[in-house]
Amino acid sequence: MPMNRHPLDPACTATRHEIGVERQPLLILDRVLADPMRLVAAATSAAFAPAYGAAGGYPGVRAPAPLDYVEAVARSLLPVLIDGFALPRAKLRRAECNFSLVTLPPDRLHASQRAPHIDTVDPWQFAILHYLCGPEHGGTAFFRHRATGFETLSADRLPAYDEARARDADGDGYIVASDAGFDMAYSVDAAFDRLIVYRSCLLHSGRIGDPSRLSSDPRRGRLTANIFLTLRPG
């Protein structure tokens, strides 16, 4: 078995929060890795490529993260996730992970990038966001859609949400607070080697701090590792 170059700190523990009216769980872990700078070093040699297009997408660049890091996080967090989200017995179905760097300036954003989003309507997919940058890069915010009151989206909710969103007027640039269309329900500050876990169907957005700090250099920019874990009952 290949050596794991990115072991977790055995002293790391999770704190559980319930956010918004829907009381969705959010897990926050600090000082996650035994040597987080090793992961940053891996990012500096990774092959980043744009993750956006004419229709939007992630407003920056992405690169594959090391497989041993993904496996270490997925295996270690699975029991924590099952407990924190009060799930029945569950097994890991799929894990995907990339390094990510927000790089697009506010005036170049597509309309879809200026509003909160979800990653999927599947309630069994979970987002694991690992900050490899400091608080000067903002954080992550979670939102309630004013017109519908939705904080999470499901297949059943999508038609009403899409109809209401067509009447919304979005602001300019990255959303960093409540606006005409959305109330900010909760916010987490970035902190180096902090990791948060939430359902991918939660309306959320990166809270970009100072846009002048955006950079494609992993040592200077808003570097994160983003893991999507999809579970299945059983």
Residues 6 or more apart from 142 whose CB is under 8 A from it? 19, 20, 24, 26, 116, 151, 184, 185, 186, 187, 198, 202, 203, 204
Task: Please report the pLDDT score of residue 89 as a whole number.
Answer: 83
Residue ranges of the chain whose pLDDT lies below 50: 1
Query: Structure tokens of 47?
Result: 């092959």
How do residues 143-192 score in pLDDT, each as one tens digit? 999 999 999 999 999 999 999 999 998 888 999 999 999 999 999 999 99
Task: Please report the pLDDT score of residue 1 as a whole number.
Answer: 43
Q: What is the pTM of this model?
A: 0.96
Task: Please report the pLDDT score of residue 127 as a whole number.
Answer: 98
Residues 6 or more apart from 191 whose CB is under 8 A from it? 30, 131, 134, 135
Task: Please report the pLDDT score of residue 2 as a whole number.
Answer: 55
Task: Please report the pLDDT score of residue 3 as a whole number.
Answer: 67
- State how far the Cα of 218 lies from the Cα of 60, in Å rounded to an integer: 12
